[in-house]
Structure 1
Amino acid sequence: MEQFDTYYYDLMAKKLSGHCTAAELSELEQWLAASPDHQAEYDILSKLWQDSLPVAKPRAYDAANAWKKVELATAPAAVIKPIFNWKKLSVAAAVLAVIGSASWFIFSHNSIKKHELVANEGKIKSLELPDKSLVTLRQGARIKYINGYHNQNRLVELEGEAFFEVANDPDHPFLIRTANQSFVEVLGTSFTVQTDKDSTAVIVASGKVRLGAENDTAAVILSSGQRGVWGNGQIYSRNNTNPNFIAWKTGVLQFNDQSLLEILPQLADFYAKDIRVDANYRETAAKQKATITFSNQSCDDVLHELQLLLGFNYKQTEDTIVISQ
């Protein structure tokens, strides 16, 4: 027995609402041309769609009324052998029966039950997704996901920063959508994604990742050890020079012959502090270098060790720290 797949009903809905991409439209046209049954199903849904357009505000539908429309649209002049797969159309009618307005056809996840996890209270959180992929959320990050697939894809939505270890499943691509409309397609296994209002940065620990925008051919393929940035009208990749890009996850900070001016911004990011260098000390701080490792230590302990090593003073007021001679 043929298994019904709502994927093509999603495509039909997006075409009727004018939200089908060129690639999706081409795929739908091929599917419609493959069988008279497919075209007949589309014609019925198209009529139901047209019947629903005049409503000025969302109105309630019920299955009985939906079936009446189906029966009217398909009533034959004489008794003939039905050519439609009514099991499939029953699913389509049920879909139409629960929509409240024509806007349902616009691509959204409102009809799909989402799960959400937020790393709040100043702590990182770990999550195993339904496909066995592992996600670690940095403090303040948020992820949304569903239990199954969306159009055969494993789709999640991310705000903030997270480290992904994606389970291998070539038949179901793993996609990450961000609030700034960037799109990350996973071609490998482990990487970080950092998003904000205007840009997205990806650093690949292993495997490959595609970074770009949804439905945009401009994209970069990032391999292990590379960092890519999308946003503000540009997209680029380069080698990652920051060994501490997942220090927030591991708790380990490593510095190899780096100047104090290079070290302090990384400490500021790790500890969520505002660390400043006094103007009269910047030239000296640029020349002072250290090779040192810190593991799960407090900000005050780290600064104290650097102070003993390099010989500076510092003063802290709440979350602001000033480094001086």
Structure 2
Amino acid sequence: MQNRKEYLKQLLQQKEWKQEDRDWLLQYLNENDLTDLQEVAAAAYDNELQSADPVLEREHSARILEQIHQRISVPTVPVVRSIWSVRWKVAAAAIIILAAGAGFLSLFRKPVKQLLVTAEKQRKTVTLPDGSMVYLEPGTTLQYSGNYGKEDRNVMLTGEALFNVQKDDAHPFIVASSLISTKVLGTSFNMEVRGNSDAKVVVLTGMVQVAAQGDHDQEGKKLILTANKRAVYNKTTQLLEMSDATDDARFYSQKQQGRFVYDGEELIKVVNDLQRFYNTEIRLDRRIQHCAFYGDVNIVDDLEKALDLIAVSLNAKIDKDKSGNGYTIAGGNCQ
């Protein structure tokens, strides 16, 4: 047998596989470290992207990856297909990279897992098989089993999402992550787990149980949260803390409804909401920070439309930074 890595490379390039090729690959997946396969797959994936377009933006790449997930989302993959297009094989290569090794083996044995990905500036609303709604924030990944709703209702989250969960006493809804997991029967809550930041859960309605990953069965290591409460997992101390989250719950609830409604709220609170939702810095003249603001902001509108509404109501001026990365609200009065 020739060098293993070269043989793997050859398999990915072939349009047609013989039975001996399939047998060899299945044996390799069962008996070997998958490092060689990951390296070959990564190179093939990079070459495919480069041949498609010399310069791909991150958001475009994320869309391509999402399409890859959709293309392989079939009920089961009992055997390796005998005829693969080059592009389909490159898609499989990307999945190998994401699976980080042995997880790829499940493609041959189990229903394919569903993987949802949002790009850096993309939000997405999805309906799970049981009717539960998930509102994915930018840069978020959500994964769940092809048997979701039949055997369990477990999902894996990286990033931030708001969940509106259908009640099912027989199948608790569990959101797992690298740091914490949240267990519910039927409720709505927001969960955020990103990089090196602390993990956070805010409950809008109902009740949830939050614990560090693996601690749900240990008394004294889990928190029960009701509406308008927050749990924060500190990565440094590895402790969970609970606090009031009335303002956060209002923000998430109105965002879910598609409209921020202000009835005499201080302008500084309005600006904080806009910064948070649009992920843009907005500087505010101190003289008008505590002015009362009355109005609605539709989340489908762009930020400048919302800022124009503020400017008109307070006779203020909106200046856009020369860099294009922020805004300043200056002048105006509370009359």
Query: Do structure 1's residue 254 and structure 2's residue 252 form an aligned pair?
Result: no
Q: Percent identity, please.
A: 25
Q: Structure 1: state its 5+ residue gaps.
A: 1-57, 61-106
Per the alignment, residue 298 of structure 1 pairs with 302
SS at match of 1:160: strand
For the Cα contact (< 8 Å) 1:208–1:222, is it kept in 2?
yes
CA distance in structure 2 between the aligned counterparts of 1:109 and 1:312, rounded to whole angstroms: 57
Larger Rg: 1
Q: 1:264 aligns with which of 264, 271, 283?
A: 271
Match runs of 1:64-143 below 5 Å: 111=106, 113-120=112-119, 122-143=121-142
CA 114–230 in structure 1, closer or farther in 2 if over 3 Å, else same: same
CA distance in structure 2 between the aligned counterparts of 1:261 and 1:312, rounded to whole angstroms: 14
SS at match of 2:143: strand
C-alpha displacement at 1:323, in angstroms?
2.5
Match runs of 1:1-325 below 5 Å: 59=31, 111=106, 113-120=112-119, 122-148=121-147, 153-179=152-178, 181-197=179-195, 198-216=197-215, 217=218, 218-232=221-235, 233=237, 234-242=240-248, 243-277=250-284, 281-282=285-286, 284-295=287-298, 296-317=300-321, 318-325=324-331
CA 121–261 in structure 1, closer or farther in 2 if over 3 Å, else same: closer
Amino acid at match of 2:290: K
Q: CA RMSD in A?
A: 2.9
For the Cα contact (< 8 Å) 1:313–1:323, is it kept in 2?
yes
C-alpha displacement at 1:116, in angstroms?
0.4
Per the alignment, residue 87 of structure 1 pairs with none
CA distance in structure 2 between the aligned counterparts of 1:258 and 1:161, rounded to whole angstroms: 26
CA distance in structure 2 between the aligned counterparts of 1:263 and 1:205, rounded to whole angstroms: 20
Per the alignment, residue 66 of structure 2 pairs with none
Runs of 4+ deviating beyond 4 Å: 107-110, 149-152
CA distance in structure 2 between the aligned counterparts of 1:228 and 1:240, rounded to whole angstroms: 13
Q: Structure 2: state its 5+ residue gaps.
A: 1-29, 33-101
Amino acid at match of 2:307: L
TM-score (norm 1): 0.59
For the Cα contact (< 8 Å) 1:130–1:147, is it kept in 2?
no
For the Cα contact (< 8 Å) 1:186–1:209, is it kept in 2?
yes
CA distance in structure 2 between the aligned counterparts of 1:293 and 1:118, rounded to whole angstroms: 30
CA distance in structure 2 between the aligned counterparts of 1:140 and 1:259, rounded to whole angstroms: 30
CA 150–294 in structure 1, closer or farther in 2 if over 3 Å, else same: closer
For the Cα contact (< 8 Å) 1:178–1:195, is it kept in 2?
yes
For the Cα contact (< 8 Å) 2:202–2:245, is it kept in 1?
no
Amino acid at match of 2:311: Q
